[in-house]
Structure 1
């Protein structure tokens, strides 16, 4: 399982970036709608997609940095012995 952790996290980061781009594209598309109700619903849906994808992106990056620092500290401690 430990060998699949980094590719899995990288895949999740890329997936969150895909949804971020999708949300921005949806937000830009909302401005071309003529119906006010459709505009409001699409606008808020796009904002929610962007918010969730940014939150997940930040969470995955923070987790990856934390694990990298922990692995680096363990390697330094082992070489000092």
Structure 2
């Protein structure tokens, strides 16, 4: 049972790091979209980067809140 608990924490931390990676990737994509000379390419890249930022930030916040709730529940039961 202890191994299952450690696996859950490792999995949640891994998912948090993946979502932070995609957040940084979306931020880099957003910054690089301002370098594009074509207005159509700028608009498409800008909205794609914004979408990546939105989803990755929402997922990172979700994983973080889930870990905080489980930690508080474990701390109160101990």
Higher Rg of the two aligned structures:
1
**TM bin (shorter chain):** over 0.9
Number of matched residues? 75
CA deviation vs aligned residue, 1:24-78 (integer Å, no higher than 9, x gap):
0000110000110000000000000000000000000000000000000110xxx
Please report the RMSD computed on the Cα atoms of aligned residues, expressed in angstroms: 0.6
**Post-superposition shift, 1:2?**
2.4
What SS does structure 1 have at the residue aligned with 2:35? coil
Q: What TM-score does the superposition give when structure 2 sets the normalisation length?
A: 0.93
Structure 2 unaligned residues grouped into runs of 5+: none
Match of 2:36 among 28, 33, 47: 33
Which residue in 2 is equivalent to 1:42? 45
